[in-house]
Amino acid sequence: MTTSVAPLALARLVARVAGACDGVEAVAPALPGVAATHGPGGRVPGVVVHPLAPGGPSVTVHVRVSLGRPLPAVADEIRRATIEALAQADPDRAPWTVDVHIADVVLAGPASLS
Amino acid sequence: MRALDRLLALLGGLALAGLGALVAIEAGLRAADRDALVIPRRRWDRSLSDLEWTSSTLELVAIITIAAGAILLLLQVAPRRPRRLALESIDGRAAWITPAGVRRVVERAVLDAHDDVADARAQVQRRRVRVKATVVASADDGAPSRIGPTVAAALDALEVERNLRVRVRIDRNQDRVR
C-alpha cells in the first residue's frame, strides 16, 4: 500500500490541477496557515492530503472562486479533475476522496447573480 | 483563532504532563516513606481530616465549581457560527462554502440591486442570514420588502443546500451615501 509519491508532491499536483479549473481564482485557505500540506522542501497552502485516512486516502482543497458559474458545478469540476490526476499520479492509493471547500468568492466588477 | 487554540492546547498539554510527572514523583516518595518534594501532603491531610460538610469554605468551593461547570456546559451547548455551509450536492458529493463567501456575495447583491442602499452588512448564521442595510434618507418605506427577495435570490444563485431564512434590518443614515 506504500508508494513513492510523497504527500507534498501530491499536494502540489492538486494545487496545479484545481487552480486550472474554470472559475478558480486561487487555491488558498480561508485563513492563512490553517489548511496546508507540509513536507521536506516546502508547503502547499490550501491543500490538505490525508494519504492514510481511515476511510481511504483523501484530499481537501480550498479555493477562491470567481462568481459566474454555479458553485456546485465548479466544485464538481475540481473534484473530478483532481481525482483523475491523483489516480494517474498515485494509482496504488486510488480511489481518492476529494472534498472541495470554497474559501471565498471573488467579486470583480458589479456582481450579476441572475 | 485556530492558531491560538493550538497554542493553548500545547500549553495545557505541557502543564498536564508536568503535573502528572509531579504526582508520579510524589507518589514514589510517599511509597518510599520520604518527605514530599512540592506537595504539602501532611498539611493537606490534616486540613481535610478536620473539614466538615458544613464548612463555609467547602460550600463556597462547591458553588464555584458548580457555577463554572454550568458556564462551560452552556458554552458547549450554545449554537456557534458555522465554519462552512454545504452547497447542493452533485452525484451525492457535497462541497462547502465559508460564511465569509456567502456574506460577500449577499452584500454585493444588495448594493448592486438597490440604488437607495448606501451600505449593506450581512451576518451568516447556521439557519439564517441577517442583513443590515443603510439606506439614504430619501428611500421609501418599502426597502425591507425589496431587499429580502434580493438576498434570497443571491442565496439561490449560490445553491446553498440549506434554505436559509433572511432577515433585513434597515438603518436610515443621511450622512452615508454611495
The one-digit pLDDT tens for each residue of chain B (178 residues) are: 567 888 899 999 999 999 999 999 999 998 998 888 888 888 888 888 888 888 898 899 999 999 999 999 999 888 777 788 989 887 777 789 999 999 999 999 999 988 888 899 999 988 899 999 888 877 677 777 888 899 999 998 888 888 899 999 888 875 544 4
Q: Which pLDDT score, from 0 to 100, does residue B175 have?
A: 52
Question: Chain A closest CA to B117's CA: distance in Å?
Answer: 15
Which ranges of chain A have pLDDT less than 70? 1-4, 33, 109-114
B78 to chain A, closest Cα gap in Å: 24
Residue A112 is predicted with a pLDDT of 44
Pairwise CB contact (< 8 Å): A72 & B159: yes
Top residue of A31, A67, A80 to mutate, by most chain B CBs within 10 Å, is A67
Looking at the DSSP assignment, which residues form a beta bridge with residue A86? none
Closest CA to B82 of A23, A101, A28: A101
Whether A25 has its CB under 8 Å from any CB of chain B: the answer is no
- In the prediction, which pLDDT does A4 show? 64
Q: Cell 425591507: give the residue.
A: B144
Q: How far apart are CA B98 and CA A101, in angstroms?
A: 8
Closest CA to B157 of A73, A114, A103, A65: A114
DSSP-assigned letter for residue A24: E
- Contact present, A49 and A7 (Cβ < 8 Å): yes
Looking at CA atoms only, how far is residue B178 from chain A in angstroms?
14
Alpha helix positions (H), chain A:
7-19, 71-89
Spatial neighbors of A112 by CB under 8 A, at least 6 apart, are A67, B112
What is the C-alpha separation between A63 and A75, in angstroms, rounded? 9
Taking the C-alpha atoms of residue B107 and residue B104, their distance in angstroms, rounded to an integer, is 5
Residue in B96, B104, B124, B159 to test binding to A, most A beta-carbons within 10 Å: B96
Q: Which residues of A touch B112 (CB under 8 A)?
A: 110-112
The helix/strand/coil state of A79 is helix
Q: What is the pLDDT of residue B170?
A: 87
Give contacts of B3 with chain A, Cβ < 8 Å: 33-34
DSSP state of B89: P
Closest by CA position to A26, among listed A40, A8, A46, A56: A46
- Is A113 in contact with B153 (Cβ distance < 8 A)? yes
Q: What is the pLDDT of residue A109?
A: 64
* pLDDT the model gives residue B174: 53
pLDDT in the model for residue A1: 46
Of the candidates B119, B101, B123, B127, the residue with the CA atom closest to the CA atom of residue A107: B101
